[in-house]
Amino acid sequence: MENKPTLRSVEVTRYVTPLREGGSLPAIAEADDGFNYVLKFRGAGHGTKALVAELIGGEIARVLGLPIPELVYAKLDEAFGRTEADEEIQDLLQNSQGLNLALHYLQGGINFDPVVTQVDEKLASQIVWLDSYITNVDRTFRNTNMLLWHQELWLIDHGACLYFHHSFDDPIGHAKTPFALIKDHVLLPRAAKLQEVDAEYKALLTEEKIRAIVNLIPDDWLHWEELDKSPEAIRDVYVQFLMTRLQNSDIFTKQAINAREAHI
């Protein structure tokens, strides 16, 4: 029987500093387990949908064996942030009371620079395939969303993936589309083994694994005013989208291969 993924829960005890390079004002924060985390706030621009994307994208990457920091549920109590001097940050903290999401902070990690560091073709293909699958628009030369830490490449920030859920209109139709924005992926020129990776990853990702990841989404993140669906029904839509996209992976894989050939 496959092990089901789990996420630990921590209480945020101290706001350390904002990470202003992120549009949603994530922050470094300390938790009650003594570790620092990059905290993603439910009160930021795209609300809990960004947390859902972060969780699903990150945990799929983990199932595929790609290096990603530990994700945890991060709780903010109602008193947190009252003494924050910056009004924008104070509002963000007050609007984020309850359950948020955080990634283990990779102390000393440096932003990946493709000019300085060459990535193995297999790893590049794996990351390009992942981002094509989860429709991640945010791994470009402008913003690579990868860190070098302890001489290893780590993936961070998947909050912009699964963008179909911002309208939730025809998710099955969206699942069968190519991903044209892959042409801007920072690792696309090195992704020479996409067909090999496609076969491997289709065999590795089972419906049981995908459903187990989607079931990690708390009900609290799935009460959307614009959508008259229960949390369980919304989870089912995510599973249907991800399974349909997996079954039709040749569409986005061919798109990535064609985009790479156009580049080189």
Per-residue pLDDT averaged across 120-134, rounded?
A: 98
Per-residue pLDDT band at 76 (split at 50, 70, 90): very high
pLDDT tops 50 at residue 123: yes
pLDDT tens readout for residues 187-217: 999 999 999 999 999 999 999 999 999 999 9
Q: What is the pLDDT of residue 24?
A: 66
Sheet of strand 110-111, all strands in order from the earlier edge strand to the far edge: 110-111, 146-149, 152-155
Q: What is the pLDDT of residue 90?
A: 84
- 65 versus 46: the higher-pLDDT residue is 65
pLDDT tens readout for residues 51-62: 999 999 999 999
Per-residue pLDDT averaged across 133-150, rounded?
A: 96
Q: What is the pLDDT of residue 1?
A: 41
pLDDT tens readout for residues 21-34: 655 679 999 999 99
DSSP assignment of 191-233 equals ---HHHHHHHHHHH--HHHHHHHHTTS-GGG---TT----HHH
Per-residue pLDDT averaged across 149-156, rounded?
A: 96
Per-residue pLDDT averaged across 125-131, rounded?
A: 98
Q: What is the pLDDT of residue 225?
A: 84
pLDDT tens readout for residues 242-261: 999 999 999 999 999 999 99
- Share of the chain residues as helix, strand and coil, in percent rounded to the nearest 5: 40, 15, 40
Q: Which two tokens stand for residue 150?
A: 């302890």
Q: Considering the chain, what percentage of its residues have pLDDT values greater than 90?
A: 81
Q: Is 85 exposed, middle or buried (0-12, 13-18, 19+ CB in 10 A)?
A: exposed
Q: What is the pLDDT of residue 20?
A: 64
Q: What is the pLDDT of residue 5?
A: 84
Per-residue pLDDT band at 157 (split at 50, 70, 90): very high
For the entire predicted model, the pTM comes to: 0.94
Q: Considering the chain, what percentage of its residues have pLDDT values greater than 70?
A: 95
Positions of E strands within the chain: 8-18, 27-31, 36-40, 71-76, 98-104, 110-111, 146-149, 152-155
Averaged pLDDT of the chain: 93
Q: What is the pLDDT of residue 87?
A: 81
Q: What is the largest CA-CA distance in the chain?
A: 54
